[in-house]
Structure 1
C-alpha cells in the first residue's frame, strides 16, 4: 500500500474522493431514471430550470451569502478576488487556445470558454475538502493556537464559498448573457421592433440608457446576490435575519433558506434527465453540433488539464515565497488545488437549457467530467497538494494519520452544507 505523508494512503484518498463524487452521481441517476420512464420530458425539464432560476437559486444565493459574510470577512479575504481574477484569466486563455487549435467558430469558442472558466466550486470540492479536513492533521495552521479539524473545515468552506460566489456573479452575467447566450436571429428574420428600441435608447438621457443596460444585464440570481451583500454589510439587518432566533429569522430567514435548499437537488435531477436518450418527439431539440466530440474534448482539456499545468505551480510558488494573509494556511492551498482541477460547474447545464444552446454538448461534458474523469483527477490533485505542503514547509504532512474519518461523521458535516451552489 502506497503511503502519502506517513500512513495516509492512496487507497484512503481514493475512498474519500469516491464518496464526494458519488453524492452527485446518485442524485443525477434518479433524474436519468425519471426521464427514461417519461416523467421528465423536455418541456418539464425546461419548466423546472426556469423555476429554479426565478425562485430557488436566488433564495439559495441570498441565504448562503447573507448568512456567512460580513464586513470583517470581506476585508480578511480580500486577496481571494485577486486570485480569482488570475485564475479566471488563465482559464480563459486555455479555452481560447483550445478553440483556436480546433478552429472553432465564435459560438463554439464561447461554449468552450464557458466550460473552461466556470468550474465546480461546491459539490465535489466541498465534500472532498470536508473529508480531508477531518482526517488529515497536516491541514491545521501553525499560526493559530490549538487549531483543530473544525476550524480547518470552517476556513476551507469560507475559501470555497468566496470562490463560489465570485464565480456565480460572473457565471450569471458574462456566462448567461454572452458566452451561453441564445443564438441571435439574422437581421432578415427580425421585425422592426429592434430598430425602434435602438432608436428609443439613443434618444433617451444617459442615465436612462445606463439603467436600461444594467437591467438587461441583470437576472434573479444577480439581484439576490446584490441584496445579500447589502444585508451582509448591515449588521443590524443581518442580525435580525441570521444572528439570533427571533421572529424575522424563524419566518423570513428560514423560509428563504428552506426554498434555497431545493435548488441543488433540482439542478442535479435535471442534469441526470439531460443525460437520458431523447424520445422521438424531442430529437429535434437535441441536435448535436457538427463538431460535437471535439467541443467536449476541448472543454475538458481547457477546464481540467491545461489550467492545472499553469496555475498549480503559481499557487505553490506564491504559498512558499509570499507569506501573506491566508496564503500561509494549508487549508487554502489544498482548497485552491482542488478548485483548479474541478469539472465544469453543474449549473451551466441549467443556463444551456434555459437559453436552448448546446444542450447535447453540455450533457457530454458533464458526463465525462463527473462520471469518468472526476475521480482520478481528484485523487491526483490531492496527492500533489499534499506533496506541495511538504515542499512549502507550511505544514508537516509527515504527521501520521492512523484512521480516516468515518462515513457517518463526514455525512453529518456534508448534510450541514446541503444546498450549496454547484
Structure 2
C-alpha cells in the first residue's frame, strides 16, 4: 500500500465541506423566511410539491438507473447491515422511553430520529470531497483505480443503500411520526347493546323489512373487509415516495424494462432525463423548507425537547458509528475486500438524522418543529464528529491494507 494518509486539514475540509453545504442552504431558507419570501403558506405548498412530485422523481431516477439485479446479489452486505443497524437503532429508540420518561408518541419520534440517518447526501458529499484529496487512494480496490473510479464505485454502493433506507423511511417512518388520537374510538356495537339491554323500549321494531336488512348485511362480509383493507393500504401505509421506490424495484427486477428507459439509446430516455431533472430539485428545496421551518421554531419548545435532541444526537453520532465501525472491521473478511464498501457500510451506521425526515413530518403534519431542531443541531455537531470518524476509519484502513 503506497498511499500515504493525508494530513488533518485535507480530511477536515472534505468532511466539513459536505456538512457545511447542508447548513448553508438551510441558512438561505432561514433568511428567506425572515424576509418573508417564504411564508407559511408558501412553505406548505413547497412541502406538498416535494412529497408528491420532486421526491418521487428523485427516488425513481436515482435508484432505478443505478441498481441492477447483479448488484443486489453481489452486495448482500448492504441490505444485511441495513437490517442489523435498523434493529439496533430501534432498540436504542425504545430504550429512550423509560430512560427519559417519554410518552409513547415522543418515544416513536426519538426512534425515527435514530433509525433514519443521512445515508445519501452526506455520504455523496464526503465522496466528492475525498476525491479531491490524497485520502481517496486509501480506498482503492485495484492498483489501477483512479480517484474517479473509486468514487463512482462508492456512489453505486450509496445508491443501493438509499434504496433500502427509502423503502423503510417512507413506510415505517410515516407510522412512527403519525399523529396519535387522544380519544380512543368507542365500539359502536357495544353502545347499542348497552342501550338495548338497559331500556327495553329502545329495542328496534321487527317488521317485514328486518330479515332483508340482516340478510344484506351478512351477505357482504368479504366486501366490507376488503374495503377496509384497501383503505388502510391506500391512506395509512402508502405515499408517493414509497410508490416511487416500489416502482423502481420493479424496474430493477426486469432488466429489459430498465434498459428501455435508462440505456444510452433508450427510446424513452428523454422521459427519464426529465424525471431526473425534476427530482434534482428535491434536495435543495427540502433544505430551504427546513431552514424556513427553523425560523418559526420557538426557543421554549427547543428547550423542552433538549433531552430528546441530546439522546438522538448521542445515538446517531457516537453510539451507532462506534457499533458500525467495530462490526465492519470484525467481519470484513466475509465479503468483498473493497475498502470503499467497508467505508459505506460504516457510513450506513453513522451521520446525523436524514434531512428527508422533515418531509415525513410534513406528510404526517406532526413534529415538524421538533424534527427541525434535531436536524439543525445534528448538522452543526456532525461536522467535527464526522471528521474524527473519517480520520479513524482511514487510519484503520491504511494499517489493514499496509499489513496485508
TM-score category, normalised to shorter length: 0.7 to 0.9
Q: Answer whether contact 1:288 1:358 (CA < 8 A) is retained.
A: no
Q: Who is 1:180 aligned against?
A: 177
Which one of 354, 369, 386 corresponds to residue 360 of structure 1?
A: 369
Whether 2:260 is the aligned partner of 1:240: answer yes
Whether 2:381 is the aligned partner of 1:373: answer yes
Distance 1:211 1:79, change over 3 A: farther
How far apart are residue 130 of structure 1 and its match?
Answer: 2.6
Q: Answer whether contact 1:62 1:225 (CA < 8 A) is retained.
A: yes
How far apart are residue 92 of structure 1 and its match?
Answer: 1.3
Which one of 219, 229, 234 corresponds to residue 215 of structure 1?
A: 234
DSSP 3-state at the match of 2:366? coil
Uncovered stretches (5+) of structure 2, i.e. residues with no partner: 192-217
Using the size of structure 2 for normalisation, the TM-score is 0.84
How far apart are residue 134 of structure 1 and its match?
Answer: 4.7
How far apart are residue 95 of structure 1 and its match?
Answer: 1.8
Whether 2:318 is the aligned partner of 1:308: answer no
How far apart are residue 51 of structure 1 and its match?
Answer: 1.5
Q: Who is 1:407 aligned against?
A: none
How far apart are residue 240 of structure 1 and its match?
Answer: 2.3
- Give the Cα–Cα distance (whole angstroms) in 1 for the partners of residues 106 and 306 of structure 2: 12
Cα deviation, 1:248-270, whole Å, max 9, x if unaligned, reads 112x1111111111111110110
Distance 1:390 1:105, change over 3 A: same
What value does the CA root-mean-square deviation take over the aligned residues?
A: 2.8
Report how many residues are paired.
371
- Which aligned runs of 4 or more in structure 1 are off by greater than 4 angstroms? 199-203, 205-212
- Give the Cα–Cα distance (whole angstroms) in 2 for the partners of residues 291 and 106 of structure 1: 17
DSSP 3-state at the match of 1:344? coil
Cα deviation, 1:269-307, whole Å, max 9, x if unaligned, reads 1011111146xxxx8xx9838841112112212222221
Larger radius of gyration, structure 1 or 2? 2
- Give the Cα–Cα distance (whole angstroms) in 2 for the partners of residues 108 and 290 of structure 1: 15
- Give the Cα–Cα distance (whole angstroms) in 1 for the partners of residues 159 and 220 of structure 2: 38
How far apart are residue 180 of structure 1 and its match?
Answer: 0.5
Whether 2:327 is the aligned partner of 1:330: answer no
Q: Who is 2:402 aligned against?
A: 396
Uncovered stretches (5+) of structure 1, i.e. residues with no partner: 399-422
Using the size of structure 1 for normalisation, the TM-score is 0.81
Q: Answer whether contact 1:139 1:330 (CA < 8 A) is retained.
A: yes
Distance 1:205 1:70, change over 3 A: farther
Q: Answer whether contact 2:259 2:266 (CA < 8 A) is retained.
A: no
How far apart are residue 45 of structure 1 and its match?
Answer: 1.2
- Give the Cα–Cα distance (whole angstroms) in 1 for the partners of residues 224 and 368 of structure 2: 40
Matches within 5 A, 1:17-416: 17-135=15-133, 136=135, 137-141=137-141, 144=142, 146-176=144-174, 178-187=175-184, 203-204=222-223, 210-216=229-235, 217-250=237-270, 252-277=271-296, 288=301, 291-319=304-332, 323-326=333-336, 328-370=337-379, 372-391=380-399, 393=400, 395-396=401-402
